[in-house]
Structure formats: structure tokens, C-alpha cells
Structure 1
Amino acid sequence: MLAAMSASPLPSPSPGGARARSSGDACPGALRLHRADDGALARIRIPGGVLTPRQAGVLGSAAERFGDGELHLTSRGNVQLRGLAPDCGAELAGLLDGAGLLPSARHERVRNVVASPLSGLDGFGTVDIRPWLTGLDRLLCASDSTTALSGRFLFALDDGRGDVDALGADLTLVGDGDGSALLRVGTGDAVLRVPSADGPRAALTAADAFLDAARATGAWRVKDLPGETRDALSADVARRLRQTVPGCSPEQRPRPLAASPPAHGRVPGTRHGDALSVGVPLGRLDPAQWRLLSGGGELRLTPWRGAVVTGIAAHRADGLLDELSAAGLITGPGSPWAGVGACIGQPGCVKSLADVRAQAGAAVGPAGRLPVYWSGCERRCGHPHGEWIDVVATPGGHRVSHVRADRTAVAVATVRDDPDALAAAVAAARGPSA
């Protein structure tokens, strides 16, 4: 049954609602496994989503050896292994450490860094963020203070195109046309201009300032701080940077509200071999798909549950694209799976009220203008940013809402016990693709 359309806001908790520390940080990692309904879960942080062929091969082997064989991509470009035996932790950690995926046991859960996935490949952007990525990760792992950061705290490195700046990270470095970097603290319009080479050090200074501000409030993230404390944090970061970074100056630069993920297909303009960008339906890769993706050069996992494969010989690119398409990955425009996401749902999560992955698959229709995300409960784990259609399983059915770029949400429909009506409501809410 389809309930009447309503323009009232979504009931709380709304997507992305603030969280304060009421207990210890329970975010899973590679060394701290999380018990789920389908077995233990490991989350491996991969700064910038960048994997060498060897590292990708080790992850694939670990998934098959210890888990359900699948690799699950997250909205931060990380990888989760599921269905793990509860006693495999030490052996898994040794395997990851040998591949360079655990540079610091004390810091492995705070290495949350997203980065523009096409940086240095397609000629767009104003800076190649790779020096920032390696520099920031090295500084994070060398700092005693950063071990206190929450596993939810997020850094973003944007090469100037605005893609990951739109994700609303806690600390964002953005490349600018004059070769400098802009540091954004939280999601406000205020930025601090610093020399590009000082960008990683400036981000670390800002992280230390956040930790000082968070001690009194118990905040996990910048957005969790009370408003007056957020304002004071920005001023404190500016004060600290003026003391240590020559040429630091405050400016205003509005944060883009809509991100543009890499288009699927061949990446134009690459200089060192071809590159391919593909989407992964529901972020889930089976062993054969992972082997296809990781059989080329460097692999870059994206915050949109996709992957960019680099270093492909020109004569091999079209054939590999065809193989990836035949394997079920998204390799071009118009795929009905483009923009469709879901949390793990039942049976993997005890809190989920529905098998939302199966429901999302059953409702897949023509490509839509807006992304859609299916959640098994009000937590909406892994939901996208910007504008999307929000489908949440509730005790009374599925609530379909339109979340706008300003984070306001408007109810569209409530559907009860009717898969066809649910699919129609989602398709109508998404709108036709351009």
C-alpha cells in the first residue's frame, strides 16, 4: 500500500545526525574485528583508496582464505572483509602487515583519508595530491596524539576539482590554481590558505586542535562540536598555523554541495598508460571481479564504491573494459545499477529490519537522475552525501524521502508490503536520467 505523499521533514534521527562519545570508539578495524550476524568483520583502511597490485592480491587472498570471499567497498574507499572466523585475527593481521597495509598498529583505525581518485591522471585538478597523501599518512602514523582520533574522523584531499571537498570531511585540503592549498575545518565556507608543501602538516595541526576542543565535549567529529566550540576551533587552528606556517591567511571559499564521481569507462587524457573507471553494484565484489580489477596496475578505490584501474596498455584497455562489463561491473553511462547503494542489511546486520540489498536489486529499473540508498534501519550506515533518495526500512514498511544538498529531507512516500509499488515510488523519486 502506498501512503499519501507528504512534504513534512523526515522524523529524527535525520541522516548524519551528530554523535557524542557516550562510550569507547567501537569502529571496527583490521586489528579489532567486529562481530556481525554473518561472522566477524574487518575494516581495512586504505588512505586515498590506493592499492598496489600486490596489496590488492593480498586482500583478495585474505577474503577467500578467512572470509566469505567477497570484498565490500565502503563510502570512504576502504575495504571490509565479512564472514570471518572469530579466531583469524592474528593470521589476518600478519598477512596485511606483510603487504604494507598496517604501517602502524596504533593508528590503523585513524587512517581515514579520501582523495580525488583521478588526480594526476586526466589533466584536471590543479595539483597531484599524491605527495599530500603519502605525507599526511606518514605524519598521522608518527604522531602519538592522533591515536585519540575517532575511527569516524575523516580527512579529504581534493585536487581542486571539488569532488571529495563535497563529501563534508572533518578536515579537507583543496588544491588551488596558484599552487597553494586551502585547509577547510569542518563544512563551513572559511578556509586557510597555506603553501602546498605545508598542507599535510597544516591538516595534522588542525587535527590536534580538534582533539583539544573535543576533550570537553566528547565529540567524535567536527560536526559534533557545539556551534560556539566549532567557531572557536576554526580560530584556534588559524592561530596555531600562523605561528608555524609562513604565509597562512584566512579566506572564504564555499564548499561544493554536489560531488561528481568519475564517469564510468575509459579515463581520457591519461599519460602513463590507460585508466578505466568502473562502478561496483552495491559495493560488493566477488573473487573473479576482484581479480579482474587488480590484474592491471595501481588500483584506486573511490568513495562512491567504485574503482579506477591505472597503468593499462592501450591495446588492452577496450578488451578489459568488455571483460569487466561481462563480469557485472558498471563500465559506461546508462547502467540501471549506477547510483544504487545499500547497507549490508539482513542477514548480516542484527539491527536491520529487511534484506535491503535484495530489495534494491529487485527494484532496479532505468537509470535515475538521483542516487538512491537503501538502509535497513534509521542509522543509514554508509549513506551518500549531497542529494539522494533515501529508502529506509521501518516496522511499518519502507519510507522514501528526498535528501537535498543542504541536508534537509522531505518525505516522498511510505510503502507497505508491495514490492512493485516500492520500485515505482523509488523510480519516480529518482527521476529520469539526463
Structure 2
Amino acid sequence: MTVPVTRKDLMIVNMGPHHPSMHGVLRLILTLDGEDVIDCEPILGYLHRGMEKNSGKPNNSTISTYVTRWDYLATMFTEAITVNAPEKLENVQVPQRASYIRVIMLELSRIASHLLWLGPFMADIGAQTPFFYIFRERELIYNLFEAATGMRMMHNYFRIGGVAADLPYGWIEKCFDFCDYFLTGVVEYQKLITRNPIFLERVEGVGIIGGEEAVNWGLSGPMLRASGIQWDLRKVDNYECYNEFDWEIQWQKEGDSLARYLVRIGEMKESIKMIQQALEGIPGGPYENLEVRRFDRAKNSEWNDFAYRFISKKPSPNFELSKQELYARVEAPKGELGIYLIGDNSVFPWRWKIRPPGFINLQILPELVKRMKLADIMTILGSIDIIMGEVDR
């Protein structure tokens, strides 16, 4: 709660919102002593889509299409966790080629998400040029997504047991070209931003989080690794085929806004390394393993109709989720994205609980902004990297 104002010289300021709530609203009720922040109370606006509740109801498409609306800047990850949970619950094996394709798409999506963090973050602290630069590379990534999935943002590409379609002819070569080009772009970002004295004045020593404090608050992703904790689910859980690639966890020990920037810049470089290795070693074979189930279900099944035999983006067949429970997680750009799933011998889950990284990471904001200057709030909030779709889902 906000500290009661007992001194006449204290002010209560409402920071935001500045636009309608179609993307969600985060209001900050600030108690100020001049330019110093005494207290901060975050208030979330209404964006709730009821995804967790609706996912257990028949005749809905929550666990197929609308999962991409949690984090609509990293939609491959919301799709990945949505299929990983049932796969683990029912021990569905994913072909090696499909796993490689998934890693490629996930790391491209990680880069796109970090880019669209970097541009607005720099704009929030007064640097407009990077905001325009990041869209060059992001559009190239979306071109690759569109060629493979048919969609630029809401891809609907991951399937239980694989992916919806194989990579089109010439896609791998185009992706190699992007990787080579993007490495030069990252160097340009670093020359423009990293040693800029104005940028350093705004971020260095601002919003410091210690390692023990980060763990106690349940932080994850770059927020955790920037505080000296080398924890990355791609190394810890070894999901998909990440253990087959040579890459390093990016981390810093300072725990401030600059450290979080450096972690994300380093992660984009490591993502390129993984993508290049996956492109070079991608195996042949099937890109999903549920075709046999689909055509074996019945001799006269609708899936045997002519219209379904040649479609490029096929839906997954339904199957019952056994009566058991599990928690599945992936390392999303903003941190640990998890789903707690309970089956009930039905094609619909009895419980479907989302663990969004943005919501967990946002909780430390009031502690970070206290005793800081008013101008530091946008630096700290921007360094957390939240998106309201998963904060209020």
C-alpha cells in the first residue's frame, strides 16, 4: 500500500496510462519527496482474457491459437510450452528434425523479442535512433517466419509431436544469410550504445538487484542472470536438442540496468551461434510423428479426405490426457515460462495454470524504485522487460 502522506511537501503522482488498454495498462501510484521516490504502488489495468479458465472448456481454441497472445512478441515460446506439456504428460516423442526446427524458431523468436525490448528501452531513456535500427533485423526475422509458417506474428506453427510444416525450399540458405548479417548489426548496436556516456549515466548502478535477492523474489531470465546467477533452463533441463550445441550462458554480476542490457545483447549473439549450428546439422526425416495416429484412427476418417492429404499446415489430432499432473517450462526471452497441467482422462485438461515470467519479475519493481530518482523509474521498468499480455492473461 502507498505510504500515508503526512508531510505537506510530499506529492502523490499517477504515472500512466497514456493510451487505451488494448495492450494492457500499468499504472504507478508514486509518493514523491521532490524528485525522490518514497513509495510505489503498481496497479494493473484490465486485459484479462481468461485463458487459464477457458482452456479447460470444450469447443474452444485457447490451447491452439490464442496462446500466442500471452507474449505476442515471442509467440514461438508460448506455442512451445503449450505443446511441451501434453508431450511430457503422454510421453510423445518428437522427431529429431522437428526438434532442430523448433530450436531454430525459438532462437529467432528470442532475438526478435530482445530487439523489440532494446528499441523501446532506449527510446524510454531518450535515445531514438536504436528504435529505428532494431526494426531492420526484426523485419528480416519476420520474413523468415512468414515463409515457414504463413504468419508474421501469430504463427500457430508448433504441434504436439512436431511442427505444422517442414521448412520450405531455400529457407535454410536465407536463414544463414540473416545470421551473417545480424552479427554485423549487433556490432553496430554496441558501438552506438554500450560505451555511450549518456547511456551509461542513465543505466549504470540503477536498479541494482543482488543474487540472493533475485532468487528470493523468484526472478528468472536476464533479470536473474544479470545478478550473477548462472541459471538457464536450456542448460538445466536440456529440453529439445539444446545439449547438442556449443553455447554459453550469458551473465553479469553487477545486477543493475546496464548488466541486464549486456546479458540480452550477449544472448542474441549466442542465439545466432545455436541457429547456425542447428542449420548446419539439421537431420532429415519426418517433421512430426502423429500422422500414423491420424490415419489409423478409422478407415473412413475425415483426415483421409482428399482436402486434408495435401494441406501444408495440418492440425493435430485429439487424444485423451491421462489422469496425472506435471509442470513443464521453457527458457523464454523474459525468463521461465511454465505450465502446470492436470489431465483427467479427457481431451481437455482439468487444470491449466500459466507461470508467466513477466508477472513474476514485475513484482520487484516497487522495491527497486524506492529511494531512486523519478527519472530512473523508466530505466528500471524498461530493464525488466514486461509485456502486459502475460502479466494480466
Smaller-chain TM-score bracket = under 0.3
> Structure 1 or 2: larger helix share?
2
Relative to the length of structure 1, the TM-score reads 0.20
Relative to the length of structure 2, the TM-score reads 0.21
